[in-house]
């Protein structure tokens, strides 16, 4: 078996704002396996300023992974515990190599086109006009769950935007989620959660910065609005430590990005612990190309989670790889009549 990797830069169609800054590009690496004329592909992608494996030796670790591919999927996963995005790429690549179709990792009613996955429509931070423009577009596109990133503009303006949606659509018609990405201060977070709760939101992701365990625990105990942990899960690799975190904070939800928490295996560990503690969860992509998004979507469908998932990021880029994934009426589907370019993996190797 031979293994190689190739870097690929994804370009956003328009700058996308978060509380950590504005994104114009996204780096990713494709891990490609070849054995007896068969190919497998996996995606290793990092988010600058967020991924725990955003370190100088990242490409050196990819080189080491390719040189030690003989260790196999499980052996490499253990050796790469500090590099969750590479763990995820390794999992995908081995599954792809062993599949009849290198892009169909989890055959199901999803890949046959018979079923789809409900997803949220993502509203990026920006000025008030831009955020309203996005909301109108998502509503026209048939989304029944909207997730809005907050924390970049004046809080009162963000509340006004949310209020305008709620004035026109009840919580039964449109589910509203917000993601603060840790933007609230520890001193005013609870008061802001009280204001937001009056708008009958579904939940808020990561109201304060990760690492403030005691404060987050207090918030979860007192909040009138359900809290979901996202960034809080990053960098915790051992199962006992994962369980300790969930027991300490006891959030209402956890949100799992396989690229950030150790791929399918790392995500499954979190899911099993959450269900043991009666904590709900959903899956979100981390701005992967359609290679990684395809793998996440196929795996997510097998989990049979009825909540809207965060898998609608494939259309954000000008140079994404064409795929059978289609977003329509607030769902993600896989059109088996659309095929991947059969020589795509070979092209990426060049």
Q: Give me the pLDDT at residue 36, please.
A: 93
Domain boundaries for CATH 3.30.390.10 within the chain: 2-102+342-349
Identify the CATH class of 2-102+342-349: alpha beta
The tens digit of pLDDT for each residue in 82-101 reads: 999 999 999 999 999 999 99
Q: Give me the pLDDT at residue 19, please.
A: 54
Q: Give me the pLDDT at residue 297, please.
A: 98
Q: Give me the pLDDT at residue 342, please.
A: 60
The pLDDT confidence band at residue 326, using thresholds 50, 70 and 90, is very high
How far is the C-alpha of 115 from the C-alpha of 108, rounded, in Å? 9
Q: Give me the pLDDT at residue 135, please.
A: 87
Q: Give me the pLDDT at residue 221, please.
A: 97
The pLDDT confidence band at residue 15, using thresholds 50, 70 and 90, is confident
Q: Residue 334: is it exposed, middle or buried by C-beta count within 10 angstroms (0-12/13-18/19+)?
A: buried
Q: Give me the pLDDT at residue 40, please.
A: 95
219-230: average pLDDT: 97
- 149 noted as active-site residue: yes
245-255: average pLDDT: 98
- Residue 200 exposure: Cα atoms within 13 Å on the Cβ side: 14
Beta-strand relationship, 227-229 and 253-256: parallel
Percent of the chain with pLDDT over 90: 78
Looking at the predicted structure, is the pLDDT value of residue 346 above 70? no
How far is the C-alpha of 300 from the C-alpha of 318, rounded, in Å? 25
The tens digit of pLDDT for each residue in 96-148 reads: 999 999 999 999 999 999 999 999 998 887 777 888 888 889 988 999 999 98
Location of structure tokens 């992608």: 45
How far is the C-alpha of 85 from the C-alpha of 36, rounded, in Å? 27
Q: Rg (Cα) of the chain, in Å, rounded? A: 20
Is the dihedral angle over the CA atoms 166, 168, 173, 177 positive or is it negative?
negative
Domain boundaries for CATH 3.20.20.120 within the chain: 117-334
Which residue out of 149, 192, 209, 242 is catalytically annotated? Answer: 149
How far is the C-alpha of 196 from the C-alpha of 163, rounded, in Å? 9
Which residue out of 73, 138, 147, 257 is catalytically annotated? Answer: 257
Q: What is the 3-state secondary structure (H, E, C) of the chain?
A: CEEEEEEEEEEEEEEEEECCEEEEEEEEEEEEEEECCEEEEEEEECCCCCCCCCCCCHHHHHHHHHHCHHHHHHHHHHHCCCCHHHHHHHHHHHHHHHCCCCCCCCCCCCCCCCCCEEECEEECECCHHHHHHHHHHHHHCCCCEEEEECCCCCHHHHHHHHHHHHHHCCCCCCEEEEECCCECCCCCHHHHHHHHHCCCCCEEECCECCCCHHHHHHHHHHCCCCEEECHHHCCCCCHHHHHHHHHHHCCCEEEECHHHHCHHHHHHHHHHHHHHCCCEEEEECCCCCHHHHHHHHHHHHHHCCCCCEECCCHHHECCCCCCCEEEECCEEEECCCCCCCCCHHHHHHC
Location of structure tokens 């359900």: 226
Q: Does domain 117-334 have CATH number 3.30.1360.120?
A: no
Q: Give me the pLDDT at residue 147, please.
A: 94
188-206: average pLDDT: 96
The pLDDT confidence band at residue 49, using thresholds 50, 70 and 90, is confident
The tens digit of pLDDT for each residue in 154-179 reads: 899 999 989 988 988 899 999 999 99
How far is the C-alpha of 241 from the C-alpha of 247, rounded, in Å? 10
The pLDDT confidence band at residue 231, using thresholds 50, 70 and 90, is very high
What strands lie across the sheet with 117-118, from one edge to the other? 117-118, 331-334, 325-328
How far is the C-alpha of 62 from the C-alpha of 185, rounded, in Å? 37
Least trusted range by pLDDT, from 69-73, 181-185, 223-227: 181-185
Q: Give me the pLDDT at residue 154, please.
A: 87
User: What predicted TM-score, i.e. pTM, was given to this entire model?
Assistant: 0.94
244-261: average pLDDT: 98
Per the rule left: phi > 0, alpha: psi between -120 and 50, beta: everything else, 95 is: alpha
């Amino acid at each position: 078996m031979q293994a190689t990797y190739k870097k690929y830069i994804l370009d956003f169609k328009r700058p996308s704002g978060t509380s950590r800054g504005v994104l114009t590009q996204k780096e990713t690496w494709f891990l490609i396996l070849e054995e007896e004329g068969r190919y497998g592909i996996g995606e290793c992608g990092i988010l600058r300023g967020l991924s725990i494996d955003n370190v100088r030796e990242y490409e050196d670790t990819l080189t080491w992974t390719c040189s030690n591919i003989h260790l196999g999927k499980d052996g490499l996963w253990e050796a790469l515990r500090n590099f969750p995005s590479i763990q995820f790429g390794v999992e995908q690549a081995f599954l792809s190599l062993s599949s009849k179709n290198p892009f169909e990792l989890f055959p199901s009613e999803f890949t046959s086109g018979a079923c789809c996955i409900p997803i949220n429509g993502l509203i990026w931070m920006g000025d008030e006009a831009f955020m309203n423009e996005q909301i109108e577009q998502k509503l026209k596109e048939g989304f029944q769950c909207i997730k809005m990133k907050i924390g970049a503009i004046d809080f009162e303006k963000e509340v006004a935007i949310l209020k305008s949606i709620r004035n026109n659509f009840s919580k039964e018609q449109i589910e509203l989620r917000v993601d603060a990405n840790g933007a609230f201060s520890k001193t005013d977070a609870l008061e802001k959660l009280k204001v937001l709760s009056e708008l009958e939101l579904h939940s808020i992701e990561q109201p304060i910065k990760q690492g403030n365990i005691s404060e987050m625990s207090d918030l979860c105990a007192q909040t009138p609005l359900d809290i979901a942990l996202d960034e809080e899960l990053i960098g915790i690799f051992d199962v006992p430590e994962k369980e300790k975190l969930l027991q300490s904070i006891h959030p209402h939800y956890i949100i799992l990005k396989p690229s950030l928490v150790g791929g399918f295996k790392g995500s499954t560990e979190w899911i099993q612990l959450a269900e043991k503690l009666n904590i709900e969860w959903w899956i979100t992509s981390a701005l992967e190309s359609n290679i990684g998004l395809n793998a996440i979507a196929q795996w997510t469908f097998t989990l049979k989670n009825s909540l809207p998932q965060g898998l609608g990021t494939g259309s954000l880029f000008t140079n994404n790889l064409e795929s059978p994934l289609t977003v329509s009426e607030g769902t993600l589907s896989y059109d088996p009549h659309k095929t991947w370019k059969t020589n795509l993996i070979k092209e990426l190797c060049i």
